[in-house]
């Protein structure tokens, strides 16, 4: 967890929500509803709910596109070395981390996992050095 958080912080993104918990199946099913017709859907939901996850919300200019590059390809064996999946995973079904695929989905997913609570507005001391 620390390595993943560190990589996103080093890139200049700001963590605004974080919690560790074991999600209920209903949350996982809603999160992955676009995959519900896929044959692996039931196994995916079961896996996500099998133990604790660390849910996070990150903010910053271009955070979705940039984070997806840091995360790497969905298939860890195709993910470049230096990416999170390239460094820490070997199977698609256990690829370590989820990243929203668009800003709209990021907001939808943040709402699912955190509701209206848990997000913290704050300003980092280095903010003026990172963004105009």
Q: What is the pLDDT of residues 8-24, one digit of tens each?
A: 999 999 999 999 999 99
Query: Do 7 and 70 meet the contact criterion of CB atoms below 8 Å apart?
Result: yes
pLDDT at 116 over 80: no
Mean pLDDT, all residues of the chain: 95
Closest by CA to 51, choosing from 30, 24, 75, is 24
d(CA 127, CA 59): 12
Residue 117's pLDDT band (boundaries 50, 70, 90)? confident
User: Which residues belong to the active site?
Assistant: 98
Question: What are the pLDDT digits (tens) for 49-96?
Answer: 999 999 999 999 999 999 999 999 999 999 999 999 999 999 999 999
pLDDT at 130: 82
Whether the pTM exceeds 0.75: the reply is: yes
């Amino acid at each position: 967890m620390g390595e993943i958080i560190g990589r996103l912080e080093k890139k200049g993104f700001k963590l605004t929500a974080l919690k560790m918990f074991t999600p209920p199946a209903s949350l996982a099913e809603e999160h992955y509803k676009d995959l519900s017709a896929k044959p692996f859907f039931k196994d995916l939901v079961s896996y996500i709910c099998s133990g604790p996850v660390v849910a996070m919300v990150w903010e910053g200019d271009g955070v979705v596109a940039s984070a997806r590059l840091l995360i790497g390809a969905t298939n860890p064996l195709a993910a470049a070395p230096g990416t999170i999946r390239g460094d820490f995973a070997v199977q698609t079904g256990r690829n370590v981390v989820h990243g929203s695929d668009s800003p709209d989905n990021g907001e939808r997913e943040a709402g699912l996992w955190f509701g209206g609570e848990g997000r913290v507005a704050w300003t980092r001391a280095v903010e003026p050095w990172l963004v105009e």
